[in-house]
Structure 1
Amino acid sequence: MWTVLDQVASSGTNAAINFVIARRVSATEFGAFAIAYTIFALVMGLSRAASTTPLGIHYATASPPTFRVAARAASGTALTLGVLSGAVLLAAGTASTGALGSNLVAMGIVMPALLVQDSWRYTFFAEGRPAAALANDLVWATTMVAAFAALPARFSSDAACLVLAWGAAAVVAALLGIAQTRAWPDPRRAIRWFTAHRETTGFMTAEYVTVQGAQQTSTLIIGMFGSSSLVGALRGIQTLLAPTTNLAVALTSFAIPEFARRPDMPLRTRSRLAYALSAVVVASSTIWALVFLVLPDGFGRALLGDTWLQTRGLLGLAIVQQAGPALAVGPAAVLYALGRTRLTFRINLRFAPLLLACPLIGLHLGGAKGVIVGYIIAFWSTIPTWIIQLRRQTRP
């Protein structure tokens, strides 16, 4: 429950920046922010794969001194990636013009703090201290609200300024994480950390690059050949459904180290728990999305502003879309905990081309709705493979 509550707090801060910006800027400007946020989401997932995931798999039962050294190396890896990716965003934003350029610059400035704060959260999960992660995220959320309130009126409707305020709150939370863990990030250990766990970090990083890289790249291409407002609508769907996405992340963050701590758990029990995890995510995500379908349009406009109209038209199909990855949550958690990262990489390596191509084909054939149908085809096509591999790996 602590893990789930933390994900609620974490998703709240991420959803807040999307809701606030959507309400205060035009649909086109929100689309520019959505592109910058998409890049952030891509880099954050890459950071988790390369830095903090090995903590949950390999150090869940480590002694406190050993765990602290590992935590410093993992957070140092996240800091290194944040600095490098932030520099790239700064260069790209400086070379760009208009709202997109200013949003890329702002995201580049705050990227190191965002990744370090996220690394502390996953450190607490791996250590079995999810309440500490919740405390950290609550401080971030409180500081963010104060930062938004302190912005002068002329800056409160500028997406880039809001991103900077959001990132400033992340700095406070990242510093709190240092106090909570009594450990500073050590970027000098980044390369050694990555190579020492190359079986995990290598395959999971490659997996993330292929899967999320394909998905986020397709979003960016949709923005190039479709429109910024369409990217904003897709971002709006992701924002509305973020609580269910974060529930899936919470359950996975909890399940991987817990499965890893219990090597003697019967294989059939692992299999049943995997299906239970998936069922919880599918049911909760479906119910949550249906709520937005029955609420009055005024409620949606209050959340997303001008972006709501196009988002509302895609929400029904999005319910079917999100059920696909939700079904894979349980099998994936068990396979990761068993250290089968080579196998999960192979599954996702075959999945990535579909995830890149299907939405783009859908855009060409059916516009915005075609994009969602493309995602449905891509996600649901992998479910049989996940189930088959789960059965093979949990067979007595």
Structure 2
Amino acid sequence: MTEQPSRRLQALRVASRFVGAGLLDQVVIATANAANTLLGGILLSKSQFGALALALSVGYFSMYLNRAIVGDVLLALASRYDGDHRARLIRNGLTTALCSGLVTTLIFVAIWLLWPHSGKIDLHELIWLAPFMLPIMLHDTARCDYLADRRPEKALGIDLVWFGTQAVAIVAMVLTGNSSPGGLLAAWGIGATAGATVYVLREGHLPWAGNPKAWLAETRHLSGWFTATAVVAQVQVLSISFLVAGKLSKIDLGNLRFVQTVQLQPVQNLVAAIQGLLVPRASRNAADAAKPGAEGQAAAATLRRQTRQLAIAFAILGAVMVAAVWPLVSWILTETGKFAEAAPLALPIALQGAVYLLQVPFTAAMRGMHRARMLFVQYVVFAAVSLTGLSVGANYGLQGAAWGLLTGSTAGLICMMVLYAYALKWVGPPPEPAPATTRLDAAQNA
């Protein structure tokens, strides 16, 4: 009688460690990423900070595009397999990330050579990221490998290496009085290089040992749509930077990015952490739901119940976050002379974060069900409404632009919920064929 409760308690402890390591891992990597923007806002002039924000936007665009091609596919697909099949996916995925990094480096050098080094949209700081895009993409792929294999503690280990190395580089830069956008970008890349190196040495995966063609052939049903979705999403992010910098100013872009980093980026990092934990589980449940009989019905019910319960929990969390964070951030910005004019952005950005939280369970379920085409449709709607709202709102200043972005996020949430409800029609075991006698009677009656 006591054996079953003991097993349940042990399983609960394992699950707690799994979730705890996953969330802590995301806190660490999020801090490493956010350090660029936060320290840039503190250490640099507003003009330099605007140039840093533009370079980071392009760098993040490239990293997240590679994640769509490789990392997101590993989370949704490799989590279903073990043994040689999974090892082949990891090997081919790493080599694909290696190729992405090399191509991105060449593109960044070309942009630096050809892009005008003056005007509102200045990308000359991008050259500092060029040498590091390869290790940045390898490290990001390594994290997704560990998360897909349900080993978040390993991802936490290499992320701590990234964070620690980056921190040492930043401290050295500050102590020597050489604070600059290029220095912050280089410190970020040096941290990624250290983390990727530890992964390669620990796991023994040679990044050049795989086959990118085999990867694309095996994963095209997901990677194609995931990539298209990432292109839309990241073009939307880039367009925000270019629209704000071009239609308003680099200083306005710096104000927007600083508030987003303080207020919205922690929410986005939490979303990424939860997605990394939920998508592999949702993928397995969706695969099991296709099995005939009671096992398939139970897996389908589990997927629906998990999505419903998480939606309720995140709705409550979002409401609490808006009530607590909005007045706090607004007060802090008002008290700081440098970003006091950005205080009115606190409310629309807080509401945008709540919308992102509520969308988490629906997105995780859709990725687990491999509804990549529907995710693409949702992002197109989200991006179109966001950019339209931003463009119209910018006519009324930076605050109007922020409310325009909230309009796009809300439209994206509504679209995601509708598509999720539609996708549920295909979740569950296939209907059992009717007995032969029944089919014969039906044919005679017809």
CA gap of 1:125–1:283, structure 2 versus 1, over 3 A, is: farther
**Contact 1:76 1:185 survives alignment (8 Å):** yes
Which residue of the other structure, out of 217, 229, 251, is the alignment partner of 2:251? 229
CA gap of 1:206–1:153, structure 2 versus 1, over 3 A, is: same
Which residue type is aligned with residue 66 of structure 2? Answer: S
CA distance in 1, matches of 2:305, 2:421: 12
**Contact 1:271 1:391 survives alignment (8 Å):** no
**Unaligned residue ranges in structure 2 (runs of 5+):** 1-19, 289-298, 429-446
CA distance in 2, matches of 1:37, 1:293: 25
Asked if residue 97 in structure 1 is aligned to residue 117 in structure 2, the reply is: yes
Give the equivalent residue in structure 1 for 2:416.
Answer: 386
Q: CA deviation at 1:243?
A: 1.5
Which residue of the other structure, out of 266, 281, 296, is the alignment partner of 1:258? 281
In the TM superposition, 1:1-396 aligns within 5 A as 1-95=20-114, 96-97=116-117, 100-151=122-173, 156-186=178-208, 189-241=211-263, 242-262=265-285, 263=288, 264-266=299-301, 267-276=303-312, 278-279=314-315, 282-283=318-319, 285-286=321-322, 287-295=324-332, 297-298=334-335, 306=338, 308-364=339-395, 366-394=396-424
CA gap of 1:54–1:369, structure 2 versus 1, over 3 A, is: same
**Contact 2:71 2:140 survives alignment (8 Å):** no
**Contact 1:317 1:373 survives alignment (8 Å):** yes
Q: For each residue in 1:10-31, what CA deviation from the matched residue of structure 2 results, as whole angstroms up to 9, or x when unmatched?
A: 1111111222222111011100
**Contact 1:244 1:284 survives alignment (8 Å):** no
Q: CA deviation at 1:277?
A: 6.0
Q: CA deviation at 1:283?
A: 4.5
Q: CA deviation at 1:153?
A: 5.1
Q: For each residue in 1:292-329, what CA deviation from the matched residue of structure 2 results, as whole angstroms up to 9, or x when unmatched?
A: 2344755x56xxxx3x2333231122112222333221
Taking structure 1 as the reference length, the TM-score comes to 0.91
CA distance in 2, matches of 1:182, 1:28: 44
**Unaligned residue ranges in structure 1 (runs of 5+):** none
SS in 2 for 1:156: coil
Taking structure 2 as the reference length, the TM-score comes to 0.81
**Contact 1:247 1:281 survives alignment (8 Å):** no
Q: CA deviation at 1:152?
A: 7.2
CA distance in 2, matches of 1:289, 1:122: 32
CA distance in 1, matches of 2:117, 2:375: 40
CA gap of 1:289–1:161, structure 2 versus 1, over 3 A, is: same
**Which stretch of the first structure deviates more once superposed, 18-27 or 96-105?**
96-105
Which residue type is aligned with residue 373 of structure 2? Answer: R
Task: Report which structure shows greater RCO (CA 8 Å, sep ≥6).
Answer: 1
CA distance in 1, matches of 2:94, 2:328: 38
**Which stretch of the first structure deviates more once superposed, 215-224 or 202-211?**
215-224
CA gap of 1:89–1:311, structure 2 versus 1, over 3 A, is: farther
